[in-house]
A and B are shown apart, each in its own frame.
Chain A
Amino acid sequence: MKNRSIILSAAVLFAMASAYEAKAQVGTPYIHDPSNIMLCNGKYYTYGTGGGGLWSPDGWHWSAIEAPEGVNARPGGGAAPDALKIGDRYLIGYSATGGGLGGGHAGRILTMWNNDLDPNSKNFGYTEAVEVAHSEFDEDCDAIDIGLFLDPTTGRMFATFGTYFGFIRQCELDPKTGYRKEGTKDLDVAVDCEASDMIYHNGWYYLLGTHGTCCDGVNSTYNIVVGRSRNVNGPFIDNVGRSMIEGGGKMVVAAGYGKTGAGHFGRYIEEEGIEKMSFHWEADYDQGGRSVLAIRPLLWKNDWPVAGEPFFEGVYEIESVRRGYALELAVDFQRQNVARPMRGSTDPIPNPSFQKLEEVIGTWPAGDIPARIGDYMFRPHQKWSVVAVDEAGGYLGAPYYKIVIEGTERALAATADLEVKTVEKYTGADEQLWRIEQCTDGTFRIMPKAIPGCNEPLCLISAGDSTPSLGKFDFNSDNCKWNFCTR
């Protein structure tokens, strides 16, 4: 029922969502076939088809990488690159091909290293690209769309590649050199998809691929599917027992919210319990139908990866997962004067009205009011309006939000003594801005942008059933998790 509430809220709120809410990343996030997102010296980078790429100072505002004259941010051109950090270096893979659906299918997969992804850095400089896989003109594979994967259990590295033309293939690379590992043979692992990528989670190896129609703008049906295996080499089986060699695949993300054509999966792990997935929308109806970078929460349900929903501005109960109580103002509970109906009577009687803000706000003290957690009764002191603050910047995949009591400017704020309170009027101070991220189990982590006098990243926690505070995020503790509900 909890999930139902959240889903319901997303659906309802989408109908009244502002244009801001419907956006993907802001800035000029125009890209096709993005690589995994890399974090390098506090900046985010991703690379796309045709060369170049995007960078972001915060993960929310994106723009094209600007390189000094004579320097190429991602040389080689070609299609659908990928990136992987190994040790202190970054391995970039890309494909050189003259193919395409109607062209030849001779393709080459190449890799190259860089120590720094900022083309303005003195440490920036690619090694010579080396071929790690290829396809001949007419074999049942089109060697493009590399996906790089480092097995966290063994340290072995693999590349997958291929398109709709034939098989998706897997080969092993040497993580020290980026070269093709001597003796490795290409292994067929899937058919009829492209933009493959592998990830690992909880004893499972996952192969993700993109199905549907590519490169057709708003009509692109591109969608990302997945199969899994206990073995790094597969077979990768979907949720109904179908191998990806038979075309199988369980949906991860498809079109929605004014965006079509989800393709080219990438994974970004912030820490245990907080993961993001990157991909492109073939067309964003709010950005001229352009192909844009997308970043969504990555959830795990029964050990299957699922795209989390975008977070929409709206009015919510903020429910503590610890007990199921709701974040609220610490004010007097105002009883409603509604007589209890007589038991046994079936005579028609009028419905009670919901309590309104104007009926109770006069009883609230001026100035700061502490925050508390209590029984949810859909009363005004428990209804929080969550609104994105465009000028406040963002983090990977989302903007900062202010959290105010509905109909007021009374804002939730972090305090220097590592507690939370509400201030009478939102001022835009960093301690009144909140980072809202969906955890891998579908709950949410809520973190202040800043805490006065504290540099440690802390999040909103339930210190007790009735007591909110700030503390270290621990994915394995329900004290650190919240739900946004509309009920």
Chain B
Amino acid sequence: MNFIKRTTILAAGLLCLAGAAKAQDFTNSNYFTPVTGDVASPDANGFIGRWLLLEPFDFPNGSNTVFVDSYIRETFAKFSDTYLGGDLAKVPTTGKKGEVIKYKTQYEKATFRGFGAPQAPEIVKVDRKLKWHALDSKLFNVKLMRFASDLNRDKYGLVFWAVTVIDVPEDMTVRLAVGSNSASMWWVDGEEALILSGDRRMVADDGMSARMTLTKGKHVLRGAVINGPGMSDFCVRFVDENLKPVKNYTISTTK
């Protein structure tokens, strides 16, 4: 191996490492910033921007039309039980000593809708260690597809998990309001609050939970979003009896 070749490979390796490190700390993301400070507030319209986001599971689907209720219930239950300990009220940890989830699978690469010729089937093997990231979204919504691309991951065919902790100053009756692309499920303190099935676009206040009373103190909000091809994102807020956004609480990523 000559010097030039060796140097080139070394430089390329360093660049890859730098690129990976750069992407994973989200300091240069157009969509997220790493969490700073203990607590955040909802934005002016009540949307929750502070989340723990788990690096996505590879789970390709060639179309979003398969996301019927039973499919997403079974899929999310399987991921929760197999990889996340089945505790939907748990607040994961981040950082060097944070949780690491081992995910090993293989699948036939999906042929997404496109104008080109169909792709030949390709078997993809995956062996990942998935980590949680504490992030603030720069937008009112959380662009999961960009979370994936910031991690240098494929943008499509993924299952995302998100957790956040809200601290309410007094007992309040609210509804959880969610829009997601594509299907999603949401839990408050481990109890199912809302399911949005189907090939769905992110629309603010698309789905509402039944009224729920949040007692004074902290509550854990967890969501899972599945997407085949196309954009994936979500927006979440709480609304009051008059469907107006609730904003008098704080948000953190620890309980």
Seen from chain A, the residues whose Cβ lies within 8 Å of a Cβ on chain B are: 79, 97-103, 138, 164-166, 191-193, 211-213, 215-216, 219, 221, 240, 242, 246-249
Contacts and interface: CB of A to CB of B under 8 A. Distances in A.
Contact of A98 (B63, B115, B235): B115
B23 interface: no
B65 A102 contact: no
Interface stretch (B2-10, B128-136, B196-204): B196-204
A101 B113 contact: yes
Classify the interface of chain B: helix, strand, loop or mixed: loop
A455 B32 CA distance: 67
Q: Which 6 A-B pairs have the closest CB atoms?
A: A102-B112, A100-B114, A247-B203, A101-B229, A192-B201, A246-B204
Nearest to A216: B65
B95 interface: no
A216 B198 CA distance: 13
B201 A164 contact: yes
Contacts of A103: 112, 114-116
B203 A192 contact: yes
Interface in B72-106: none
Given A192-B181, A219-B65, A164 B204 contact: no
B148 to A, nearest CB: 12
7 contacts: A102-B110, A164-B201, A164-B230, A166-B231, A212-B199, A219-B65, A246-B203
B27 interface: no
B57 interface: no
A246 B201 contact: no
A242 B113 contact: no
Given A191-B202, A247-B201, A164 B113 contact: no
Given A138-B149, A192-B231, A216-B65, A100 B203 contact: no
Contacts of B156: 101-102
A193 B149 contact: no
A213 B65 contact: yes
Contact of A247 (B111, B113, B206): B206
A98 B115 CA distance: 6
A215 B113 CA distance: 9
Interface in B107-146: 110-116, 140
Contacts of B181: 164, 192
B184 interface: no
A102 B229 contact: yes
A247 B63 contact: no
A166 B179 CA distance: 15
A196 to B, nearest CB: 14
B230 A101 contact: yes
Contacts of A166: 231
Contact of B230 (A165, A216, A221, A249): A165
Nearest to B146: A140
Interface string B198-227: 110111111000000000000000000000
A98 B114 CA distance: 8
A212 B111 CA distance: 20
Nearest to B119: A102
Nearest to B206: A247
A242 B204 contact: yes
A100 B112 contact: yes
B64 A213 contact: yes
Contacts of A192: 181, 201-203, 231
Nearest to A243: B204
B116 A98 contact: yes
Contacts of B198: 221
